A and B are shown apart, each in its own frame.
Chain A
Amino acid sequence: MRPLDLKLLRDLRTMKGQMLAISLVMACGLTMMIMARGLIVSLETERDRYYAENRFADVFSDLVRAPNSLRSRLMEISGAGTVETRVTGHAILDIPGMDDIAEAILVSIPDERPQQLNILHILQGRLPEHAGRNEIVISKAFADAHGFRPGDTIQATMYGNREELYISGTAMSPEFVYELPPGAFVPDNKRYGVFWMNERELANAFNMDGAFNNVVMTLAPGGNVEAVKAEMDRILRPYGGQISYDRSEQASAQWVETEIEGLRAFALAFPIIFLSVAAFMTSAALTRLVRLQREQIAQLKAFGYSSTAIGIHYFKFTLAAVIAATVMGGVGGLWAGRGIVILYEPFFQFPSLTFRPDYPAVLIGLVASAGAAFLGVLNSVRQAVKLPPAEAMRPEPPAEFKPSRIEALGLQNLVSPAFRMALRNLERKPWQGLFTALGLAMATAIPIVPGAMRDGMNYMMDFQWRLAQRQDVTLGLIEPGSYASFTAMRNLPGVLHAEPFRAVSARIGHGHHERRISLSGLPQDGQLNRLLDADANQIPLPLSGVLLSEKLAEVLDVKPGGTVRLEVQEGRRPVFDIVVAGTITDFADIGAYMDIDALRRLMREGDTVSGAHLTLDSAQWAPFLASAREAPQIGAIVRTRAARESFDETMAELIVIAHTIYFGFAAVLAFGVIYNGARIALSERTRDLATLRVLGYTQREVAGVLIGELALLTLLAILPGLFIGTQLAAAILEAASTETTRFPLVLTGRTYATAVLIVLASSILSFAIVSRRIHKLDLIGVLKARE
């Protein structure tokens, strides 16, 4: 081995703690990059393959009812590719042993020809056949949640009729990758499933013979999506057509995309933070090393080593850190990526989602981190090799010190000489201090993200499903009913209090903005489905005018006092302009609300109801559920707390994992930054510290002098860190929010305290490890020579 490389190895051994700290921080950045980029590629590759192979539609539309003959007109739309008309419906399930509501969405598949769009990926069994026994294929997630297999049967109430459904197979569909119950934001595979059934049987069950209520289509090559949607809307409008939408608004596709977007932000932001901090750490460590070895460098040059050879020698230190980081980051990233792909399973129903490393991105990450680290040391290496040997052999001129600016304020009598040493060292190297503080601020910021996510989701669910919706159960009628149907619901066993509602689907427009929503009519002084302001105070329902979800008002670009146009899609389909009386705060879905009687007047109907909100005597749950299932008019039963429960069941583990990852990485960052800083400080001040020990300072007192400076930086970093963390959390929640699910930014003392605690704990651990070196200070050796 060449002597310079031997020197490299020996020096690396003495600096191993520091090099390890640097590599760890770098490795965290690489781990996150490799993991997140790999997940993006994995999701995208699998999604694109799945969508293409199983011919996922491009445009979707729901309508009330249109004759099958309309299909040919849809096929003639210019830019349309394949068109499939379908029947969809909703079933209440009665699953033995489950004393909770389960429901399914039913989707038709063509009778006598293969599916052309949204083709099922059959996992078990086969497609339904005409056996006259209501054969269905059920979604794999639902089947797994209940242990259903082909050959089993399920009792279902469809359109008021109790039917026995025969399971012929299990499947996945590109349309339901994220199998989301309406209004929820996490899948609930126990309470919600997707069933596919032959079209004729399904149409029969829903009184839709010879008709369809759902259209999906692909675009012809070169087809313009906006033009196709507009034309489709025009054709379907007379048939109660709702606004058609493309993949960007299709619930499942949208959630997949949101996940990928989130990963993209993650794959960028966190590696940048970690790799730049690592680059700074390398720079600080190498600058110090070069300073220490100034005389050695001079001697090497005197022996005839070229500046390039010496420069390369010091770059190899960085290279060593980068190599160690690559190994750790590579292993960590692949391991984490594989693990998270498994965690995706309950959420994303893909036929074969496997982890695929994004090698080009890994390479870019490596080059970027190596490049940043090299740039960081470039300057100090250049200075080292630039010195003429004769000059470099002389020790560096003594550092210039002056009273720090803080002392100029007249505080000198308040602080001890030891603290003054810290202040003056900081002021002499403000950049080093600043970067250390910045690294610590980042470490403080990171743990705020998972805390804010947890608290935001909790707040949202509490607000939505406890404060706003105080009903235990919402019942929906198959068809709007009279006051008698409301009385019937109120008289179900166990009902304590009931309030009617009228809900109609409608288009709402303002200027050129338009959305399809549910327009709800609620009774005055309702106590169950309450409309709240941001402070959770109930907003009185205006006698005329509508209240809009804040988000709806935002996307329509309308303010209270403005007028919106409403086109109801049911009954006599009134179209009217109405004043926006105000906005309400809610976090899931977008809606419009008005007085129930005002809505009925507009619909020109009497005391029609769409359903009822109920509170129940919980002891009577079982008889209530049995009667509600039996009641032929009832088409939907929604238990308010189910959303919260399924969230807790599905997300609890994920939240723990997210916390662990964020906390762990923050701890590594804080630990690394402090450890590196402390080692550099120790190296710079060995002589001072040994002198203090000789003079009779105890180990503890000397450690205090050493860490005083870093402790000061840590304390200074905390407030900016909390601020940065707040901004980071806001940005991440904003990115995770969609139009229909909005995560509020909720920051609690607990979140902040945890962040501070993590940084303090890792700092103290660093201090403890470095302080051990004070015990080993060579008191006598230090006295023998000048530095």
Chain B
Amino acid sequence: MPDTKDSTNGLENRDPLFHARGLTKVYHPSGEIEVRALDGVDLDLFESELVVLLGASGSGKSTLLNILGGLDIPTDGTLDYRGESLTDADERTLTLFRRDTVGFVFQFYNLIPSLTARENVALITDIARNPMAPEEALALVGLEDRLDHFPAQLSGGEQQRVAIARAIAKRPDVLLCDEPTGALDVKTGITVLEAIARVNEDLGTLAMIITHNAAIADMAGRVIHLSAGHITEIHTNTERRPASTLVW
């Protein structure tokens, strides 16, 4: 188990947003064989940092992100957010946690096809506590002139940026992105990453990006390596590269 304290590098003096100890998730897909998707993960995540989560397919990245986001509950271990336990929380509390605190971005955008870009964002601003206007959120991702387009009328990159706008419109404390560039080409991928980086800097949001693409790790403050449900390494970048300069 790597020494997480060493690699937090000065962050240890602040209270973490997420505080996970021994986080374990076990699946029993066919009753007999058990799959340990997460196997005793200890992790602290801090305000306004940008973290990239790397790992092979099936290593447990999505599982970790879903648990952090309140979409899933661990089989074992503890997870606190700002000192409040998420492991003991009921369905309602988790829903409220997602509603007020977390912004999600997924590989397949998950936009509602029957709503326009503006309305997809409005879905969030309608229920959030302190939202920005949908137009403002879309402007942040450079889509101010696509407000009334339906998802089917937008390119993949544009759809993903709508998804980001939707995620940030509530000014979330946490932005969780599961392979946000997975379905995009390099150029569009970079615009999307730029949007995430901008939110991270401008709003001070903790951003976590899952990717298979090691090149993306260069834009992160910390890089977490996951393998077979274990954190194998946490690496702190001394120098962060702006997203626009990434190549892969």
Question: A-side interface residues toward B, CB under 8 Å?
Answer: 398-403, 416-418, 420-421, 424-425, 428, 687-688, 691-699, 701, 779-780, 782-786
A399 to B115 Cα, complex, angstroms: 12
Pull 6 A–B residue pairs with CB atoms less than 8 Å apart, ordered by A. A421-B112, A688-B113, A691-B112, A695-B99, A779-B71, A780-B71
Q: Are A417 and B119 in contact (CB under 8 A)?
A: yes
Residues of B within 8 Å of A401, CB to CB, are: 113-115, 150, 152
A688 contacts which chain B residues (CB < 8 A)?
112-114
> Which residue of the partner chain, among A403, A692, A783, A786, contacts B123 with CB atoms under 8 Å?
A692
Check if B161 is an interface residue, CB within 8 A of chain A: no
A417 touches B126 (CB 8 A): yes
Q: Is B178 an interface residue (CB 8 A)?
A: yes
Q: Which B residues contact A (CB, under 8 angstroms)?
A: 62, 66, 71-72, 91-92, 95-100, 102, 104, 106-108, 110-116, 119-120, 122-124, 126-127, 150-152, 166, 178
Q: State the CA gap A258–B95 with chains docked (Å).
A: 63
Q: How far is the CB of B116 from chain A (nearest CB, A)?
A: 8
Contact between chains at A696 and B152 (CB < 8 Å): no
A563 to B85 Cα, complex, angstroms: 96
Question: Which residues of chain A are near B95, meaning CB under 8 Å?
Answer: 693, 696-699
> Are B114 and A701 touching (Cβ within 8 A)?
no
Bound form: Cα–Cα A688–B115 in Å: 10
By a CB distance below 8 angstroms, the chain B residues around A418 are 123
Given contacts A421-B114, A696-B102, A699-B95, 11 further A-B contacts (CB under 8 A): A398-B151, A402-B150, A416-B126, A691-B112, A693-B95, A696-B97, A696-B100, A696-B124, A697-B127, A701-B127, A780-B66
- Measured CB to CB, the nearest residue on chain B to A698 is B95
Interface majority SS on A: helix, strand, loop or mixed?
A: helix
Q: Which residues of B contact A785 (CB under 8 A)?
A: 108
A695 touches B115 (CB 8 A): no
Contacts of A420 in B (CB 8 A): 114-115, 119
* A400-B152, A779-B71 as given contacts; A696 in contact with B108, CB under 8 Å: no
Q: Which of A695, A780, A783 contacts B124 (CB 8 A)?
A: A695
| A401 to B114 CA separation, bound complex (whole angstroms) | 6
Given A692-B123, A695-B124: A421 and B115 within 8 A (CB)? yes
Distance between Cα atoms of A402 and B151 in the complex (Å): 11
Residue of A nearest to B134 (CB): A417
CA A688 to CA B119, docked complex, whole Å = 13
B72 lies within 8 A of A694 (CB): no
CA distance A662 to B214 in the complex (A): 69
A403 to B118, CA, bound (A): 12
B166 touches A695 (CB 8 A): yes
Most buried by A among B66, B108, B120, B151: B108
Interface pair A425/B110, CB less than 8 Å apart: no
Docked CA distance A175–B119 (Å)? 76
Query: CB-nearest residue of chain A relative to B100?
Result: A696
A400–B71 Cα distance when bound, in Å, is: 30
Whole-angstrom distance from the CB of A461 to the nearest CB of chain B?
A: 56
Instruction: Provide the bound-state CA to CA distance between A5 and B92, in Å.
Output: 42
Q: Which residues of B contact A416 (CB under 8 A)?
A: 126
Among B62, B113, B119, find the residue whose CB has the most chain A CB atoms closer than 10 A.
Answer: B113
Minimum C-beta distance from A780 to chain B (A): 6
Nearest Cβ distance between residue B221 and chain A, in whole angstroms?
26
Q: Are B115 and A398 in contact (CB under 8 A)?
A: no
> Across the two chains, which residue of chain B brings its CB closest to A400?
B152
CB distance from A152 to the nearest CB of B (A): 77
What distance in Å separates the Cβ of A216 from its nearest Cβ neighbour in chain B?
A: 75
Q: Contact: B92 with A695, CB < 8 Å?
A: no
* Chain A neighbourhood of B126, CB < 8 A: 416-417
Tell me the complex Cα distance, A786–B116, Å.
Answer: 19
- The answer for the CA separation of A420 and B119 in the assembled complex, in Å, is 9
Docked CA distance A251–B115 (Å)? 67
Say yes or no: B114 contacts A786, CB within 8 Å.
Answer: no
In the bound complex, residues from chain A placing their C-beta under 8 Å from that of B97 are 696
Q: What chain A residues lie within 8 Å of B112 (beta carbons)?
A: 417, 421, 688, 691-692
Q: Which residues of A contact B104 (CB under 8 A)?
A: 694-695
Residues in A neighbouring B113, C-beta threshold 8 A? 398-399, 401, 688
Distance from A420 Cβ to chain B, minimum over Cβ atoms (Å) = 6
Of B62, B98, B123, which is in contact with the most chain A CB atoms at under 10 Å from its CB?
B123
Known: A417-B122, A417-B126, A697-B99. A691 touches B110 (CB 8 A): yes
- Given A399-B113, A417-B126, verify A780-B92 contact (CB < 8 Å): no
Please state if B110 and A687 are interface contacts (CB–CB under 8 Å).
Answer: yes
Chain A residue at minimal CB-CB distance from B151: A398
Give the distance in Å from the alpha carbon of A782 to the alpha carbon of B104 in the complex.
Answer: 14
B154 to nearest A CB, angstroms? 11
Q: Which chain A residues border B120 with CB–CB below 8 Å?
A: 417
The CA-CA distance from A696 to B125 in the complex, in Å, is: 11
- Smallest Cβ distance from A400 to chain B, in angstroms? 6
* B106 and A783 form a contact (CB under 8 A): yes
Q: Given A416-B126, A688-B112, are A783 and B178 also a contact pair (CB < 8 Å)?
A: yes
Q: For residue A697, which residues in chain B have a CB less than 8 angstroms away from its CB?
A: 95, 99, 123, 127
| B72 near A696: Cβ-Cβ < 8 Å | no
